[in-house]
Structure 1
Amino acid sequence: MDLPRSFTIRESSHRIHNPFTSEKLAALGRALHLAPGTRALDLASGSGEMLCTWAHTHGIVGTGVDISSEFTARARARASELDVADRVVFVHGDASGYVADEPVGLAACIGATWIAGGVAGTIDLLRRSLRPGGILLIGEPYWRQDPPDQHTVEACHAGGKDDLRPLPELIGRFGELGYDVVEMMLADQDSWDRYQAAQWLNIRRWLDRNPEDELAAGLRAELAEEPARYARYRREYLGWGAFALMGR
């Protein structure tokens, strides 16, 4: 049980595995006004940057669950680096059915709603761990512009145009599911650049060290094509945001 090796190569230098800068992540933490001691659950927690930095800054405690053994190890190291290892725990495992042992005040899945089949399924999974009056935090892509054709859709890593919604429709969908949107933080093109472009340097440095690896040919082709494809499609058409929700 683990992520494909190609994914961890692409994001080997990333602390945040979505198009958020550290500044945006910090701003989101401040915007949520988290009380010290707030218990959090982060499903698909990646390298643990959200839990670790918010534990350090805001005094929260909690658990992160991620399928990547490499990212989980990084999360534990980050907790030690920030001296919060006594406040946050990281579990290597399948987040798709994980429910906290006791109710939490913040239940999050930032950019991985595929773990429960989409937004509705992930909200349903998270609410099983949430105490009354707690906050759900969902990270999800949306269309910045209407994609003109299926080629554009696929270049944005979507199977079909209807797999994603424009931002107003995504916010409306949260309401249909019975939740108020009480805060949001959106990626911009600069934070997308920082997320995507860092992958190209990671790939190139890995290729220089591992020219004979079985993944080298595929990653070499990706590096040759991906920067222009990103600039033409995802940078223009794909948005991403983190949305704080409270049940009605």
Structure 2
Amino acid sequence: MNHEEISRIAHADHPIKSPLDDESVRQLLDRGITRGDERVLDLGCGAGEWLLRALSAHPDLHAEGVDISESALADARHAASRLGVEERLVLHHRKAADFTSPHRFDVVLSFGAAHAFGGLLPTLAAAREHLAPGGRVLIGEGFWDREPTQEAVEMLGDFTDLASTVDRVTADGWTPVHGHVSTRRELDDYEWACWGSLASWALDHPADPNSSEALAVAATRRSEWLRTYRDTWGFVSLVLRRTSH
């Protein structure tokens, strides 16, 4: 199974691909969307869950999403049609790092797509290129809640602690106007949902040639989480405005 297919199945019961519950997502969107008629861009939108929620809540809002996954964008189009918001949603099939637009956006989102840009600060640099004056960026980033093992660093990446993460953002010319640190429940619920969904799919489809692989991946990822990074890794979501222009 390729990574995209594994991710699609794993997130079936947790469509927000970050350790955030529905109320946290709503609050972050409320802090980013302050008027209700904004133009919103999601860099690495996947199946468009953030945009679909924003469009459903704000009938005067318009949104655009960018992603490399044709199947995820197809899912987004189908969901937008079902929700009756398709006329206010534009989707672009391309690399987020290569996306250009004649428009500037009031809100730029990027969750779970930092790898497409090469890290947190390059992601913010890309967001800055698309951001209208006075606009806001919503972004999520991992951090080390306590000293990680070398195995955890090799598995997840070279994050810093929470204070240093925010310091990097502010030194780059941004001011946090809202933030949310994912709770233990959000972190655990996310992991249980992902690897539970993947395992359930495998058990429900024993004749599928990929079922054994899916079950093994679920077991491996669950073990990695429980044994390697559950007690050290955290996740922060920030609503940012530009300090410097």
TM-score in same-fold range (> 0.5): yes
Look up the equivalent residue of 2:190 and give its one-letter code. Answer: Y
Aligned to 1:32: 32
Q: Give the whole-Å Cα distance in 2 for the aligned partners of 1:92 and 1:231.
A: 35
Give yes or no for contact 1:107–1:129 (8 Å, CA) kept in 2. Answer: yes
Matched, 1:112 2:113: yes
Paired position in structure 2 for 1:182: 177
Cα 1:3/1:127, change in 2 over 3 Å = farther
Give every structure 1 segment of 4 or more consecutive aligned residues whose post-TM-superposition deviation is greater than 6 Å.
none
Aligned residues with identical type, % of pairs: 29
Structure 1 match to 2:22: 22
Q: Map 1:45-56 to 2 at 5 A.
A: 45-56=45-56
In structure 2, give the amino acid aligned to 1:7: S
Task: Say if 1:179 and 1:68 are closer, same or farther in 2 by CA, change over 3 A.
Answer: same
- For 2:122, the equivalent position in structure 1 comes to 121
Q: Does 1:195 align with 2:190?
A: yes
1:213 deviation in Å?
Answer: 4.9
Once the two structures are superposed, what CA deviation does each residue of 1:105-136 show, in whole Å capped at 9, x if it has no partner?
Answer: 11111121111111121111111111111112
Aligned to 2:213: 218
Give 1:10's aligned amino acid.
A
Unaligned runs of 5+ in 2: none
Question: Alignment partner of 1:99: what SS?
Answer: coil
Q: Residues 23, 136 of structure 1: CA spacing in aligned structure 2 closer, same or farther, 3 A cutoff? A: same
- Distance (Å, rounded) in 2 between the aligned partners of 1:122 and 1:66: 14
Please tell me whether the aligned partners of residues 17 and 111 of structure 2 are also in contact (alpha carbons under 8 angstroms).
no
Partner of 1:237: 232
* CA distance in 1: counterparts of 2:91 and 2:13, whole angstroms: 19
Q: Which residue of 2 aligns with 1:208?
A: 203
Deviates more, 1:39-48 or 1:64-73: 64-73
Partner of 2:41: 41
Gap change, CA 1:3 and 1:103, over 3 Å in 2: farther
Distance 2:91 2:229 in 1: 31
- Residue deviations 1:17-45, cap 9 Å, x none? 11111111011122235212100110111
Distance 2:222 2:88 in 1: 39
Change (3 A) 1:33 1:92: closer
| Equivalent position SS for 2:121 | helix
For these two proteins, the number of residue pairs brought into alignment is 241
Paired amino acid for 2:25: L
Q: Distance in 2 between matches of 1:19 and 1:228?
A: 18
Q: What stretches of structure 1 of length at least 5 have no aligned partner?
A: none
Moved more, 220-229 or 62-71: 220-229
Q: Which moved more, 1:114-123 or 1:201-210?
A: 201-210
Match of 1:88 in 2: 89
Q: Which amino acid aligns with 1:186?
A: V
Let me know the Cα RMSD of the aligned residues: 2.1
- Name the CA distance, whole Å, in 1 between partners of 2:187 and 2:131: 30
- SS at 2:86's partner residue? coil
Cα displacement (A) at 1:152: 3.0
- Measured against aligned partners, the alpha-carbon deviations of 1:160-183 in whole angstroms (never above 9, x if no partner) come to xxx201110000001111111111
Give the letter for the 1:134 counterpart.
G
Residue identity matched to 1:193:
D
Q: Secondary structure at the match of 1:86?
A: helix
Contact 2:151 2:228 in 1 (8 A): no
CA contact (8 A) 1:43 1:95 kept: yes
Distance 2:22 2:142 in 1: 18
Larger deviation, residues 91-100 vs 2-11: 2-11
TM-score (norm 1): 0.88
- C-alpha distance in 1 between matches for 2:203 and 2:37: 45
Amino acid at match of 2:156: A
Q: Is the 8 A contact 1:48 1:64 kept in 2?
A: yes
Shift of 1:209: 4.4
Map residues 129-144 of structure 1 onto 2, 5 A cutoff.
129-144=130-145
